[in-house]
Amino acid sequence: MRRVAITGLGVVSPVGVGQDAFWQGLLRPQTTGERRVHDFDPTLAYEDPKAIRRADRFEQFAMASAREALAQAGTLTASPERTGVLVGTGIGGADVHEEQTKVLIEKGSRRVSPFTVPMMMANAAAAAISIRWGFQGPCETVATACATGTHAIGQATRWIQWGICDAVIAGASEAAMTEVSIASFANMKALSASGRSRPFDSARDGFVIAEGSGIFVLEEWEAAKARGATILGEVLGSASLADGHHITAPAPGGIGAYRCMRRALEDARLTPRDIAHINAHGTSTALNDEGEALGIAQLFGTPGPVVTSIKGVTGHSLGAAGAIEAVSVVLSMRHRLIPPTDGLENFDPELPKIDVVMGGPREWKPGPALSNSFGFGGHNGTLVIAPA
């Protein structure tokens, strides 16, 4: 089976836009409250001001991340017909949808923008990347709630492994911090009442909503090597499994997390002893953190591999979370540091005693790592990423 190299990364996050700012942000404690990308400049993504006005925020994030990732990767040797795009979103153009709904109610149907549909459609980001850079291979969108980014990168990896593509631009983007979304999450008691993200903490009380995007450039290993690309890491395998249990709650006892991580290891042809680090989904909700901790302990024992959740810093960017967290895994390998789980002050004594990084970053010798994502609908995803 063909190997898959990571040759480019791009990220937009509430703690920094671009890899360097993002990495520094992961090492700083964050303020209380929702996590918006306040310093985003859409001209990072588009040359034409008209294109900015005709793109929802989630597409703008994806385009900026894709530009950064492609600039780092350099000139691809894969033909346009063999270069795919697989960029997902959990919700899509929620902002423009709500905005134009208000226009409809207040001003009538004739004032609704003719660009509403192409702006709000979930595949807008993938299509925009394909059009801007002329990629003519498969161009698709994944929408599996909070597992979206992880699933997109995993499926893109298979496109290369199976010979469908020689290169794929893959990841996810989300900008769904709208009035309706926030009200809905709040009314289902999913959001933190304290405004603090505290993964695995005994006082955790829900997630802090965020936005952002993460994009990877993936290439067939030998082709990347032959063109002299700097290989940042390798995707060894992935898994995508369903709980088949409940629309919002994870399967009891951590069985969904356990099965997904185990299947990803099988796909990568590794054993639990090979894993050096786990980037947890770690949303700061009672059931998610419990289920993930139970799954980790069941598969790896305790204390097991070093675990962190960057959602303590970034908050939860829904469909983009897995892609952003996969970027953090690769950067952790580059810097030989694992960021701490910000907000974690008192590890929940009711959870298995897994080894979660607290207080400050931890030095490590990079090795194969897992990146987990678990979404509403029972969607589970795990990536296995190794150093170059």
Active site residues: 146, 281, 316
Q: What is the DSSP letter of 384?
A: E
Half-sphere CA count of 250, side-chain side, radius 13 A: 31
168 strand-pairing partners: 84, 218
Q: Enter the tokens of residue 222.
A: 């030998």
Report how far apart, in Å, the C-alpha atoms of 237 and of each of 3, 10, 149 are: 10, 21, 15
Rounded CA separation 280/5 (Å)? 23
Omega within 30 of 0 (cis) for the link into 303: yes
81 strand-pairing partners: none
CA 125 vs. chain centroid, Å, equals 15
Nearest to 154, CA basis, from 172, 180, 136: 172
Q: Enter the tokens of residue 243.
A: 């709980």
Nearest to 322, CA basis, from 187, 194, 152, 109: 152
